[in-house]
Amino acid sequence: MDGLTHALLGATLAQLPSPRHCPLKRGQRLGVGALGGLFPDIDYLLFPWWPLEFLAYWHQGPTHSLLLAPLWAGLLALALMVHPTLRARGRWLFLLSLVGVLSHDLLDALTGYGTQLFYPLSTTRFSADLLFVVDGYFTLLLAFCLAVLYRRPGRRLVLLPPLLYLGLLLGLKQLALYQGGTSVAIPQPFSPLHWQLIDPQRQRLLYLRLAPDPIASRFSSWLGYPGWQQGYQAGLWAQWQPYGLGSPDPIWQEAVEQVWRHPDFRPFRDFARYPYLYRLEQDLHERCVWFSDLRYDWPALPASFRYGMCRQADGDWQLYRMRYLSERQRQQL
């Protein structure tokens, strides 16, 4: 999830202990909980050095492990105890930091990326495919909960709205799966009423609209993506689209296979759950083969993670990534 949502959830949960038991002030609780909720994404500091290896092996690994959460919470508590007013509050600093870190790990497991919850015992990634990485409705509900709990700490029933929203998402996902007759449904940007259905056996996909969402439509237009909703089809008229790793042009097929099987491209093969051929590029001096993952492919929006290899005449294949939100800017890895 995005950083704001993680910070809000950590800060909200930190307000749950009764003021009679927790000696920390409300503002201190807010800060400690938000810091704990943000901490696991500190692993992003590794991204600039090894972007592809980071995505494939390190992100949402050690710092997102439920087993290692007490370690990270202890380090946070020790760092906060440097402040004179917090020096005698080590137990509560640890507990609220732990709640924040655990909330981050579990929330990320609800998205489609996949979280290594039991690292280092297992590198298996758990993903419920329930929440998109930025969900405005969920974030607003958390902000409401925090506003109430900040004024009246300990009111646990205030957490019902976001919990009910997660239940609604689960129901909508089951409805999308039923309409598509498949086993894979991935949440989409801007609206809980839009889902991406994937049929891995037949290598086809469908962008499904369960019902219109006028709020999300206005918000996407405000962000500069007015055609976003048009990419999703109603169930009665929905048509599947093919996807795959092969090239429709047989002249390119050898190059596509060379890139996909290249040893330097192994991290992307390990990272991608639903890989597909994204683009083929050819000019006078160079040809490029690009791949992406359907989990990060959306109508009217550029896919987030696009990796490929380029080769000049009589040269070797070189690994590249396309920069976020760009269709042409690239970085050699």
Q: What is the DSSP string of 227-248?
A: TTGGGSEEGGG---EE--SS-S
Nearest by Cα to 6 from 127, 166, 134? 134
Residues near 18 by beta carbon (within 8 Å), at least 6 away in sequence: 153, 154
Domain membership flag for residue 173: no
Task: Looking at the structure, tell me whether residues 319 and 211 fall in a common domain.
Answer: no
Q: What is the pLDDT of residue 147?
A: 93
CB atoms within 10 A of CB 10: 30
Residues near 2 by beta carbon (within 8 Å), at least 6 away in sequence: 133, 134, 139
Task: Looking at the structure, tell me whether residues 50 and 133 fall in a common domain.
Answer: yes
Query: What amino acid occupies position 232?
Result: Y
Q: Which residue has the tokens 């396309």?
A: 322
- The C-alpha atoms of residue 258 and residue 290 are separated, in whole angstroms, by 12
Q: What is the pLDDT of residue 294?
A: 95
Q: End of a domain among 241, 265, 292?
A: 241
Asked if 245 and 275 touch (Cβ cutoff 8 Å), the reply is: yes
In tens digits, what is the pLDDT along the chain, a chain of 333 residues? 999 999 999 999 999 988 888 888 888 989 999 999 999 999 999 888 888 999 898 888 999 999 999 999 999 999 998 988 877 788 899 999 999 999 999 999 999 888 999 999 999 999 999 999 999 999 999 999 999 998 887 788 889 999 999 999 999 999 999 998 898 999 999 899 999 999 999 999 999 999 998 888 888 888 777 778 888 998 777 889 999 999 888 889 999 999 999 999 999 999 999 999 999 999 888 999 999 999 999 887 788 899 999 999 888 999 999 998 788 889 998
- The C-alpha atoms of residue 28 and residue 77 are separated, in whole angstroms, by 12
Which pair of tokens denotes residue 39? 């901490």
Task: Looking at the structure, tell me whether residues 197 and 230 fall in a common domain.
Answer: yes
Q: What is the pLDDT of residue 11?
A: 95
Domain membership flag for residue 169: no
Task: Looking at the structure, tell me whether residues 123 and 206 fall in a common domain.
Answer: no
Task: Looking at the structure, tell me whether residues 65 and 125 fall in a common domain.
Answer: yes
Strand partners, 301: 298
Domain membership flag for residue 158: yes
Domain membership flag for residue 172: no
What CA–CA distances, in Å, run from 140 to 4, 136, 193, 208, 292? Answer: 10, 6, 17, 24, 31
Task: Provide the residue range defining the domain that includes 231.
Answer: 181-241
Strand partners, 289: 280, 309
Task: Looking at the structure, tell me whether residues 188 and 279 fall in a common domain.
Answer: no
Query: What amino acid occupies position 13?
Result: L
Q: End of a domain among 215, 241, 267?
A: 241
Per DSSP, 292 falls in state E
Task: Looking at the structure, tell me whether residues 83 and 220 fall in a common domain.
Answer: no
Task: Looking at the structure, tell me whether residues 14 and 160 fall in a common domain.
Answer: yes
Q: What is the DSSP string of 126-176?
A: B----S-SS-HHHHHHHHHHHHHHHHSTT-GGGGHHHHHHHHHHHHHHHHH
Task: Looking at the structure, tell me whether residues 109 and 32 fall in a common domain.
Answer: yes
Domain membership flag for residue 258: yes
Alpha helices in the chain (DSSP H): 3-13, 26-38, 51-53, 69-80, 90-109, 136-151, 160-180, 214-222, 250-261, 266-271
Per DSSP, 196 falls in state E
Q: What is the pLDDT of residue 226?
A: 76
Domain membership flag for residue 176: no
Q: What is the pLDDT of residue 21?
A: 84
Q: What is the pLDDT of residue 227?
A: 75
Output the furthest CA–CA distance in the chain (Å, rounded). 74
Q: End of a domain among 214, 241, 268?
A: 241
Domain membership flag for residue 284: yes
Task: Looking at the structure, tell me whether residues 254 and 109 fall in a common domain.
Answer: no
Which pair of tokens denotes residue 73? 């919470």
Nearest by Cα to 56 from 319, 265, 291? 265
Domain membership flag for residue 100: yes
Query: What amino acid occupies position 118?
Result: F
Task: Looking at the structure, tell me whether residues 86 and 205 fall in a common domain.
Answer: no
Which pair of tokens denotes residue 96? 């609220």
Task: Looking at the structure, tell me whether residues 216 and 119 fall in a common domain.
Answer: no
How many domains are contained in the chain? 3
Q: Is 275 left (phi over 0), alpha (psi -120 to 50) or beta?
A: beta
